[in-house]
Amino acid sequence: MAWFRNLLISLGAFWFSLEIGVLITIPLAMLNNGRIYHDGVLDAIAEGLMTSMGMALGAVLAATLVMLAVLSLKPQRWAFLVAVLYVTRAHGRHHWVVPPSARDRLWMGVDLLWPAIACLATTAVITRLRRKSKEAMKDQNG
């Protein structure tokens, strides 16, 4: 039964983060208004990062919620599920009149992967902080 509860928590955190991510994207889109990205590789990466920044912040929130709410010895496994869901949500997101160039594919790849990377990074940070706090408590208790 705990497995099902953890699954529901992970799916709920993912859904909640998508909703919050859309709300966060609206004010962050103003940072992108009037910005012209050139044809370079770094510009394509920057454009992908900026267009998915709201979803990345939502993914950080989802990872935090999962890591705090899941009852498991290794809650990072459930946060990994959220990262996988972020990667799989992108089917059919972009529609093109002309075939996309290599630069456009790079931009779409960064746009797709950035929220998942942010989710995994948050998971790693929380796991490390928990480990350090447990070690500190052991040292303090003797």
What is the per-residue pLDDT for 96? 76
User: Does residue 78 contact residue 20 with C-beta atoms inside 8 Å?
Assistant: no
Residue 44: which residues within 8 A CB-CB, separation 6 or more? 37, 103, 104, 106, 107, 110
Q: 123 vs 18, 70, 107, 108, 126, CA distance in Å?
A: 18, 13, 25, 24, 5
| Number of domains making up the chain | 1
What is the per-residue pLDDT for 59? 95
What is the per-residue pLDDT for 94? 67
What is the per-residue pLDDT for 32? 75
The domain containing residue 57 runs over which residues? 2-91+98-141
Question: What are the tens digits of pLDDT across the range 52-79?
Answer: 899 999 999 999 999 999 988 899 999 9
Residues of the chain below pLDDT 70: 90-94, 142
Q: Considering the entire predicted model, what is its pTM?
A: 0.86
What is the per-residue pLDDT for 86? 92
